[in-house]
Amino acid sequence: MNKSWWKEAVVYQVYPRSFRDSDGDGIGDLNGITEKLDYLQDLGVDVIWLGPVYQSPNDDNGYDVSDYYQIMDEFGTMADWEQLRDEIHRRGMKVMMDIVLNHTSDEHEWFKASRQKGDNPYRDYYYWGINDDGREPNNWESFFGGPAWEYDDVAEAYYLHLFSKKQPDLNWGNPRVRQSMYGMMRFWLDKGVDGFRLDAVNLLSKPEGLPDAESMSPDKQIAPCGHLIVNGKEIHPIFQEMNREVFSRYPMFTVAEMAGVSAEEGLLYTDSSRKELDSLIVFEHMDVDNGPGGRWDTIPFHLPSFKRIMSSWQTTLHGKGWSGLYLNNHDQPRVLSRWGNDTEYRTESAKMFATCIQMMQGTPYIYQGEEIGMTNIRFDRIEDYRDVETLNFYRIETGEKCRSHDEVMKDIYLKSRDNARTPMQWDDSAGAGFGSETPWINVNPNYTQINVKQALSDPNSILHYYRELIRLRKRHEIIVYGDYTLLLDDHPDVFAYKRTLEDQVLLVITNFSGRGQTVRLEEPVLTQEQLISNYPDTGESISELQLRPFEARVYLCQ
């Protein structure tokens, strides 16, 4: 058993823009995060993941970096960042920075230089091209809708942008790009950062010749291209080099965000003997409600598929690799609105999801607001949305696709990333205690009932339950290091599994439905101790369990 501090840690993700606004300008900031560190320490988390806080024109809320060495003015100064780092460390916690390597902002100095014609050393920092007929080099569609190529008048060519057109893709085939980025990472590590979350990082190796993607519909000029790019030919050598040049030189931890990775590929990235990455944040389990049309094409949640995916990651990585555990982040709608019940069973379903995920092997990630059961939002007007992906989708669907406002808003209510980006709900005062009454994005009107102040005062709150789950992880090694077996494989509504470590067995039983369920577990046990449950009074035997809506139970058996 290969032990590491980051395997035993719980990470809390802060989305700085929406966490706490200390100066009342409508935008969350670094001093706001510092103000709330006692709250995070009380919750029991070990690591704070800061969303990108670098200089940025904010086309994609900081994921479009114009200067990696400066703090975004709206968030504060480098001195504020240093104070935040020190206050995190003083409390025995660690700080993880979000590192964006696949692209920069189009306002980054490199890109500005790259556009210039003539003998230009920066030209090769990005992907430029134009076909003989004056068209785009290929038919790729951006992840955020529309073509992945944008024409630039100065360069008289197109540049590649897999995300928004203000996020040109860097050319990682260029050694100067790689060395500059390694230097940037070392700069932050030398400043005392303890870990990195690497953004969209399995996109770095583009396919040779940038071939067209197969078109799904003949009338469309562009086609989704992600599958051609993810896990490209040079990706493993890139991480091995990055590890040599950066990670291996510091006592740090890495988690890489990667779409389009299976558990087998995940093992290649995180197998410790290969010296690439420590762990991953993947999408396979979050994509179970994506139809053939992708993210916005929502199909019903199917628990057996979810169980199969979770189980494949649990068993494939065991003993060799490592993974992150999450159901919420700033790119996903709130899970309790998505797959649970955010009205009648809000508290039960929030606790159930947390139990199911946090009792698995991996490093749990808690996204701000998840611990108080924040829910999705529904703004009537598209003008109240801020996310570039959502706004592009609305423009394309109501424009060239001629769909009605009401129809498109239904998709946005289900999947918009803004669902998770509304201001953190601290209390029931006007503006939810975020710090300003007119924040950059509206608060969820349910802040009068759902807020931290209320949760702290209610012993049955989701917040107290999260604290207890974290405490259990610290107390029972089996939660971190035990192996995993799926139980009741084909059950359509119940997710049950066991973890085993030496002579101990941990049983986790979760009801994903809003109906009662009766299940039989054939587990021979001598003694059993119930570690946690989201319902009171669960005294009966474990061989036949009567589960209530969204009930979750965890037993330790010997």
Which residues carry out catalysis? 199, 257
The reply on whether position 158 binds ligand TEU by CB under 6 A is no
Choice from 331, 397, 411, 551 touching ligand TEU (CB under 6 A): 331
- Closest CB to ligand TEU among residues 162, 463: 162
The reply on whether position 285 binds ligand TEU by CB under 6 A is no
The reply on whether position 30 binds ligand TEU by CB under 6 A is no
The closest alpha carbon to 275, from 248, 246, 235, belongs to 248
Greatest alpha-carbon pair distance for the chain in Å reads 78
The reply on whether position 181 binds ligand TEU by CB under 6 A is no
CA 136 to chain centroid: 32
Helix H, strand E, coil C: the string for 423-460 is CCCCCCCHHHHCCCCCCCCCCCHHHHCCCHHHHHHCCC
The reply on whether position 200 binds ligand TEU by CB under 6 A is yes
Choice from 6, 63, 159, 365 touching ligand TEU (CB under 6 A): 63
Cβ 70 vs Cβ 25: under 8 Å = no
- Closest CB to ligand TEU among residues 171, 510: 171
The reply on whether position 159 binds ligand TEU by CB under 6 A is no
- Closest CB to ligand TEU among residues 287, 493: 287
Shortest CB 391 distance to ligand TEU, Å: 13
Helix H, strand E, coil C: the string for 25-60 is CCCCCHHHHHHCHHHHHHHCCCEEEECCCEECCCCC
Ranges within 470-529 binding ligand TEU (CB under 6 A): none
Cβ 477 vs Cβ 501: under 8 Å = yes
Ranges within 92-131 binding ligand TEU (CB under 6 A): 100
Cβ 125 vs Cβ 110: under 8 Å = yes
Q: Which residue is nearest to ligand TEU (CB)?
A: 63
Ranges within 220-279 binding ligand TEU (CB under 6 A): 257, 259
The string of DSSP codes covering 346-388 is HHHHHHHHHHHHHTSSSEEEEETTGGGT------SSGGG---H
Q: Which residue has the tokens 């940038």?
A: 210
User: What is the Cα–Cα distance from 244 to 276, expressed in whole angstroms?
Assistant: 9
- Closest CB to ligand TEU among residues 17, 330: 330
- Closest CB to ligand TEU among residues 298, 504: 298
Choice from 199, 276, 397, 551 touching ligand TEU (CB under 6 A): 199
Cβ 278 vs Cβ 270: under 8 Å = yes
The closest alpha carbon to 358, from 379, 381, 382, 328, belongs to 328
Six-digit token string for 317: 């990585």
- Closest CB to ligand TEU among residues 322, 393: 393
Ranges within 415-434 binding ligand TEU (CB under 6 A): 417
Which residues are near ligand TEU by CB under 6 A? 60, 63, 100, 143, 163, 199-200, 257, 259, 295, 330-331, 389, 417
